[in-house]
Amino acid sequence: MHTAASESAFDLTIKRNCSISPRDLLCVLALAACMSLGIGAGFALAGAWPVLPFAGLEVVALAAAFYLNGRHAADYERIAVSGDKLLVQASDAGRMELHEFDRRWLRIDERRRGRDLRVLLCSSGSELEIGRHLDTEGRASLGWRLRRSLLNR
């Protein structure tokens, strides 16, 4: 992010809630794989050999799900107000994006869809959704805090 962001009056980093470490997740996967393949091997030895390939497919599917979930474990959004700019740095599955808005032309829009709330930054015909890793109350608070920060300057 720009060096000016360190001088910001508003600087917020929003991260996903990751409740298990990658090492512990790998241990859970290994335990599940051993149990599934062990049961499949037991059935195969008892004469029901078609169970074993399905147990292998189950382990592969579980490993793929863990991998896809793990790619997003380090996702975050960093929102900072610096001078006349609002800077949003977002990481999504290792892809980094930097968005810069002129705060004089910026509009913060909140849209409800049922009980869900989306917070959008709108400027010059483009929109950017922020607060994707927050619940509805957290997004409402984010919109309020960001509006207050932009009005105080």
Whether 31 shows a pLDDT value over 70: the answer reads yes
- Quick one: tokens of 12? 């917020």
Share of the chain above pLDDT 70, in %: 94
pLDDT of residue 83: 85
Instruction: Report CA 106 to chain centroid distance, whole Å.
Output: 24
Pairwise pLDDT comparison (152 vs 124), residue with the higher score? 124
Tokens 């740095």 -> residue: 89
| The pTM of the whole model exceeds 0.85 | no
Average pLDDT estimate for 9-18: 86
Share of the chain above pLDDT 90, in %: 63
What span, in angstroms and rounded, lies between the C-alpha atoms of 127 and 106?
10
Render pLDDT for 99-121 as a digit per residue (tens, 0 to 9).
Answer: 999 988 999 999 988 889 999 99
- Phi, psi of 4, deg, nearest 5: -65, -20
pLDDT of residue 153: 61
pLDDT of residue 51: 94
